[in-house]
Amino acid sequence: MKPTIVKRDLVVDTALDQCAAKLTPEQIEKVVNEVIDNETGGRLQTYVNTCIHCGLCAEACQWYLSHDKDVSYAPVTKVKDTIWVLLEKKGKVDGAFIKRCSEIAHTECNVCRRCGMYCPFGIDIAYMMLVVRRICAKLEMVPLYLQDTVHSHAATMNQMWVKPDEWIDTLQWQEEEGQGYVPSARLPLEKEGAEIMYSVIGPEPKFLAQLLGNITVIMKVAGLDWTMPATAGWDNSNMAMYSGDFEIMARVERLHHETAQRLKVKKIVMGECGHAFRGAEYDGPTWMGWMKPPIPIVHAISFYYDLIKSGRIKIAKKAEGPITVQDPCNVVRNAGLGTQLRYIMNAVCEEFVDVTPNGRHNYCCNAGGGVINVGPPWKKKRVQGNRVKAEQMKRTGAHTIVTPCHNCHSGIEDIVDYYKLGMHVKFFSDILIEAMEIPEHLKPKEE
Amino acid sequence: MLKIESWDWESKEKMLADTAKWKDKFEDVWEPYISPDGEKIASIVKVGEGEFNIAVNEGTWEEPFEKIWYSRFSPDSRLTALITKDMEWTMAVDGKPWEQMYEYIWDTKFSDDGKVIAATTKLDSVYGITVNEKTLECPVNLESIASYAISSDGKTLAAIAQTLPLGQADLDGFLKGTWSVVVNGKPWKDNFVDIYGLAISNDGKNVAAEYRAAICEYGIVVNGKPWNEKFGCTWEPVFHPNNSNEITTPVRQAGQWFLATNGRIVWDKGFVSLLYQTYSPDGNNIAATVAPQFAKWTVAVNGQPWAATFNECLLQPCFSPDGRKVAVIAKDSGKWLLVVDGTVLGEGYDNIWQPVFSPGGDKVICKVEKNGKYAVAVNGKICGNTYEALWNPVVSPDGTRVMICGVEDGKYYRKVVPLSDI
């Protein structure tokens, strides 16, 4: 097999460099074969042996398209340069090779599964990249900031090193903020037997606390019986799923679901995040041996769809001007919520402008799959790797992009900034809170 | 221990509060809690702008506070809550605040007799465990406390705490270990990468936890000393009820879960999943929630799984007092079920709370929810009234009566009924 010609700007990631220097061939061989022999089964072999190397997957990948069809970014090349070699050499590779595996699997692939749709055999190429990540994680070959995020999950059970008191304090603060809109709004903590447990991802209390205020108002206006935990288990995000540390992934997901069980709720409603839905709905439960989440999980898109469609939330004033949307891969391509997303966008926007391609076929934001969490050293590469997204968004002529996912939100903000698109990026709840009708009896009294 | 014997087991029915009136009297009324003896019901209520109080039966606390949350009754039926005064936090007990104020206070816990009231506190950016108003002295400044446990007698308090500061993205520092267990203010000698699943033996003498030694390497540490054996993953350890030197925990090896006691695998059969290992009261038997196959959940007793399996999940099993029977709440095809010794009792419900056995073990009693109403179910069948709010039924020590506390039409009732009648 000819070696791939790879042209990349140098990126210094001290965690990868230090790990490459200390890994021994024996360690690598042991871990590679342990993972392949004990954790992959027939699935990996089937995928590897079914691939006919046609390269049709290339056209699916935003990295490939954004680099003028540079074949080194094609999904098939990512497989060829990683798992094929590991299998062929039975793990007899060096630290520099494992470092390159991590660069490919952790920083150049979003495991968004668009390529699987273009493969004539439907091969889940993202799965193979996750196997590579698993090997890397067990060898501690994980980019610095992603590993730090996973350590945060491991130590605090949330993504952002949020301490228990900071979490509760933030909720109590945002309850007061919500009361600015609706004085009787309440953010009920630890209410056993409530209908809904609402869960969020770590960045909400850390950087985007207004989203907690938003939900306090929305829940009150919709008249729902809900609660949030005052303990660990509130964070539904899971970067361990993406680094390849599946034991921590499972521990985080187990706690999240057991918190819902402890509170005896009927369902978990989660905020606007895609990967968190994947972890809580599929990857985490599967590792635990659950066919599906023991307490059903509803993504924010479906939640808002039900509230608007049922009339529990009425729209008083639609958002003005052209507004477009980003389809989060994990809830649209991989969970089919594209139609519901368009319903709620049309419900709250005067002029909703769809993207092309859209829905299941939309491009990834390039931040998902843990790629934004590899941090500042890799930011430029990530943003340059999604020029097609910038071009797609620009074509809509919209002034605002709605991103019902935290990774999409941050990734698209970076794209808007880098390509100077001059667009705003908002969560759906930011638009809804301005558009929704607040019944007279809930409004603040005039002074 | 809780003196259940001294509770009123004679009065058949008491209407102790009309909570419907609270809604007329106060701006907002939060969800109610009841005292363990059932004699009091309390709700946090809003009495004005930035002013909260607690309604208890027909009265309120004397003094309102800026904020109140986490109202909980102690086992001896004192009402505690976390409150703010002048934007500082403290604990209030029966309306009287502790003198010391804190930057923050949370996670109230009690000894079994209620004499010890503990909470996690933060003062001058240092974290601590505070017991009956006194913060346990610690030789190092604790950077954070993830959680803590209290022994039955309240004499041992163990916290999972970060004892060293950690810089941003300091991977090496993290892997050297910044977390430890602090027992009554004294940290264990060594730090660990992570600590989980804290347990204190019934006699309060030993403390165990899971620890993480490396990225995918886990073990159990007892009083600061790790087991020799390491595993791919572990779950929380449990002490034998009468032998504080015996610790049992689920461990993962080669992709399967096993049960291990003091580091040695004691169930030869591995499972896809194994959780919630539970000793019988005499410690002679162990039951655990297991999945022999993916998405097929059941209970294994002493390693032998029941024949019946359930497709969604199982909660923690519980033994009858004589250790011969095991009950568990299972979820199958969207319904919650009561299962005893592998047999489903009664019908499916929207929710079932943790069951209790009668002293003779012939009846399993629990709170259930169906169509938005709550009821007491015996052996899976609803008995008596439905309620708009209901608390877990309590069986009298002699096993002849059951205390049922619930709200009907806004009125809070405490009822005592003969066990034979339900």
Measured torsion, CA atoms of residues B326, B328, B332, B336, in degrees rounded to the nearest 10: 140
What's the N-to-C CA distance of chain A in angstroms? 77
Asked if the structure places residue A150 within a domain, the reply is no
Decide which of A142, A177, A204 is a domain's last residue.
Answer: A142
Chain A residues whose beta carbon lies within 8 Å of the beta carbon of residue B165:
none
Give yes or no: residues A273 and A331 share one domain. Answer: no
Give yes or no: residues A347 and A318 share one domain. Answer: yes
Check which CATH number belongs to the domain holding A237 and give it.
3.40.50
The per-residue pLDDT for B421 is 85
* B241-278 pLDDT per residue, tens: 999 999 999 999 989 999 999 999 999 899 999 999 99
**Chain B residue with minimum CA distance to A142:** B171
Give yes or no: residues A289 and A335 share one domain. Answer: no
Q: Determine how β-strand A196-199 pairs with β-strand A267-270.
A: parallel
Between positions 372 and 401 of B, the ones with CB within 8 A of A are none
Give yes or no: residues A133 and A161 share one domain. Answer: no
Name which of A123, A125, A130, A124 is nearest A101 in CA terms: A130
Asked if the structure places residue A197 within a domain, the reply is yes
Chain A residues whose beta carbon lies within 8 Å of the beta carbon of residue B30:
186, 188
Give yes or no: residues A335 and A392 share one domain. Answer: yes
- Domain total in chain A: 3
CB B188 within 8 A of CB B163: no
Q: Give just the sign of the alpha carbon dihedral A253, A157, B277, A35.
A: positive
Its pTM stands at 0.97
DSSP A436: B
**Site of tokens 């029941």:** B306
pLDDT tens, per residue, chain A with 447 residues: 777 999 999 999 999 999 999 999 999 999 999 999 999 989 999 999 999 999 999 999 999 999 999 999 999 999 999 999 999 999 999 999 999 999 999 999 999 999 999 999 999 999 999 999 999 999 999 999 999 999 999 999 999 999 999 999 999 999 999 999 999 999 999 999 999 999 999 999 999 999 999 999 999 999 999 999 999 999 999 999 999 999 999 999 999 999 999 999 999 999 999 999 999 999 999 999 999 999 999 999 999 999 999 999 999 999 999 999 999 999 999 999 999 999 999 999 999 999 999 999 999 999 999 999 999 999 999 999 999 999 999 999 999 999 999 999 999 999 999 999 999 999 999 999 999 999 999 998 875
Asked if the structure places residue A5 within a domain, the reply is no
Asked if the structure places residue A179 within a domain, the reply is yes
- Alpha-helical regions (H) of A330-386: 338-348, 379-384
Widest CA span of chain B, in angstroms? 64
Q: Between A140, A191, A193, which is nearest B215 by CB?
A: A140
* A323-357 pLDDT per residue, tens: 999 999 999 999 999 999 999 999 999 999 999 99
CB contact, 8 Å: B232 with chain A? yes
CB B403 within 8 A of CB B396: yes
What ipTM was assigned to the predicted interfaces of this complex? 0.98
**Site of tokens 């009298």:** B396
Chain B residues whose beta carbon lies within 8 Å of the beta carbon of residue A163:
144
Between positions 110 and 169 of B, the ones with CB within 8 A of A are 120, 122, 144-147, 162, 168-169
Name which of B60, B55, B32 is nearest B390 in CA terms: B32
Give yes or no: residues A117 and A171 share one domain. Answer: no
The per-residue pLDDT for B1 is 62
Distance CA(A382)–CA(A369), nearest Å, equals 12
Chain B residues whose beta carbon lies within 8 Å of the beta carbon of residue A232:
146-147
CB B399 within 8 A of CB B357: no
Give yes or no: residues A161 and A299 share one domain. Answer: yes
| Enclosing domain of residue A85 | 14-142
The per-residue pLDDT for A391 is 98
Strand-pair partners of B387:
B374
Give yes or no: residues A216 and A92 share one domain. Answer: no
Q: Is the Cβ pair A289, B67 closer than 8 Å?
A: no
Asked if the structure places residue A4 within a domain, the reply is no
Using 70 as the pLDDT threshold, list the residues of chain B that sit under it. 1
Distance CA(A19)–CA(A252), nearest Å, equals 26
The per-residue pLDDT for A41 is 84
Give yes or no: residues A24 and A129 share one domain. Answer: yes
Decide which of A304, A334, A364 is a domain's last residue.
Answer: A304
Element (H, E) at B69: strand B67-73
Give yes or no: residues A117 and A177 share one domain. Answer: no
Peptide bond into A357 cis (omega under 30): yes
Decide which of A304, A330, A360 is a domain's last residue.
Answer: A304
Could you tell me the CA-to-CA distances from A333 to A131, A341, A387, B101 in Å, in that order? 21, 12, 20, 52
Give yes or no: residues A178 and A202 share one domain. Answer: yes
* A70-116 pLDDT per residue, tens: 999 999 999 999 999 999 999 999 999 999 999 999 999 999 999 99
- Helix, strand, coil percentages (3-state) for chain B, rounded to 5, are 5, 55, 40
* A248-268 pLDDT per residue, tens: 999 999 999 999 999 999 999
Asked if the structure places residue A376 within a domain, the reply is yes
Asked if the structure places residue A22 within a domain, the reply is yes
For A46, the token pair is: 């089937």
- Which backbone phi and psi does A145 adopt, to 5 degrees? -75, -30
DSSP A181: H
**Chain A residue with minimum CA distance to B272:** A289
The per-residue pLDDT for A447 is 58
Distance CA(B238)–CA(B277), nearest Å, equals 7
Other Cβ atoms closer than 10 A to B200? 24
Give yes or no: residues A361 and A298 share one domain. Answer: no
Strand-pair partners of B129:
B120
Q: Looking at the complex, report in whole angstroms how far the Cα of residue A177 sits from the nearest Cα belonging to chain B.
A: 13
Asked if the structure places residue A160 within a domain, the reply is yes
Q: Looking at the complex, report in whole angstroms how far the Cα of residue A137 sits from the nearest Cα belonging to chain B.
A: 8
Q: Is the Cβ pair B169, A163 closer than 8 Å?
A: no
